[in-house]
Amino acid sequence: MRQGLKNVLVGFVRLLINLFGQGWRRRVAIVLREAMSSNGFDEVIKDIETKRGTISFYCLDSLPLWRAETLLTKEPETIEWIDAIDDGEVLFDIGANVGVYTLYAAINKKIKVLAFEPLAANYFLINRNIERNNISDVASAYCIALNDQDLISNLHIQNTGFGSAISSFDDPVDYNGEQFSAKFLQGMIGMSLDSFIKKFDPPFPNHLKIDVDGIEDKIIKGAVKTLADPRLKSISIELDADRPEYTEAVVKDIEAGGLKLVDKRHAELFEDTIYAHIYNYQFKR
């Protein structure tokens, strides 16, 4: 319905140009631009004040706006973990979504961040946010799904909207370990972290943040060499405490690389919700 109204409006405006000539060009151009730019999403610029600096978020629709507004409250343990990263160190943000923690880490330009976000809508927004905050010299986003092997497959997407989560690469499994039917299959390249580092020789990560909603085990299994490297100092990874066998295996694989579990936390706002069993597990060498 919205697209049909757009087409009618655009056609009408073009008719006015033909009927009344060049004198209408300027005002018609304004109307036409507004008609073509309307995409059904609310476009909001939200500035968030933090102790690291002001972060400007480019938001399309309500979910990215909510992510911006809850930057400092949704995962206070993640904020504290980022604040402990030393100047000059490198963070890999795996499952970066629209980039709220990438931006927080990089906004003062003292930490270098490589962000990995395969969902097309989120990849667009994270790049707009990097551009808007003028931090492309210290923050870069890659549309790659990290995995346990290198392959071409699909990103199984439950919700294609901006800011959405709970998509899964290659295997359609959610954060509860349950199979789901994808709304959309997005073509995607997957690589193991070890392979990515060996092939492209990026700045080596001193810290890993992992929030991928279901294939944490694969990412860790694809990072054996990275985990064992003493340059890697810490990891923050979101895991489901209600899947003890799965979560304990991931913890064991991480600790096999020489890091130790030091904390398991989530914000109080998640108590008595369906996410009450989801925690950020933090490891240090």
**pLDDT per residue over 39-66, tens digit each?**
566 899 999 999 999 999 999 999 999 9
Name which residue leads in pLDDT, 254 or 176.
254
* pLDDT tier, 38 (very low <50, low <70, confident <90, very high otherwise): very low
* pLDDT tier, 13 (very low <50, low <70, confident <90, very high otherwise): very low
> What are the pLDDT digits (tens) for 70-115?
999 999 999 999 999 999 999 999 999 999 999 999 999 999 999 9
pLDDT at 29: 47
Give CA–CA dist 13/11, Å, rounded. 5
SS3 category, 150: coil
138: which 2 tokens? 């210290």
SS3 category, 207: strand
| 110: number of Cβ within 10 Å | 14
pLDDT at 19: 53
Find out if CATH 3.40.50.150 is the number for domain 44-284.
yes
pTM of the model: 0.85
Percent of the chain whose predicted confidence (pLDDT) is above 90: 79
Q: For residue 122, is pLDDT > 60?
A: yes
For residue 272, give the amino acid letter: D
Give CA–CA dist 238/98, Å, rounded. 17
* pLDDT tier, 248 (very low <50, low <70, confident <90, very high otherwise): very high
Burial per residue of 212-243, b for 16 or more beta-carbon CB atoms within 10 angstroms, e otherwise: bbbbbbbbbbbbbebbebeebbbbbbbbbeee
* Structural domain spans, the chain: 2-37, 44-284
207 close to 137: Cβ distance less than 8 angstroms: no
Scanning the structure block, which residue is given the tokens 């790659």? 144
* Mean pLDDT of the residues in the chain: 89
* pLDDT tier, 18 (very low <50, low <70, confident <90, very high otherwise): low
> What are the pLDDT digits (tens) for 151-202?
999 999 999 999 999 899 998 988 888 899 999 999 999 999 999 999 999 9
179-184's contacts with Cβ under 8 Å and 24+ in sequence apart are 180/156, 182/154, 182/156, 182/157, 182/158, 183/157, 183/158, 183/159, 184/157, 184/160
pLDDT at 26: 53
pLDDT at 214: 87
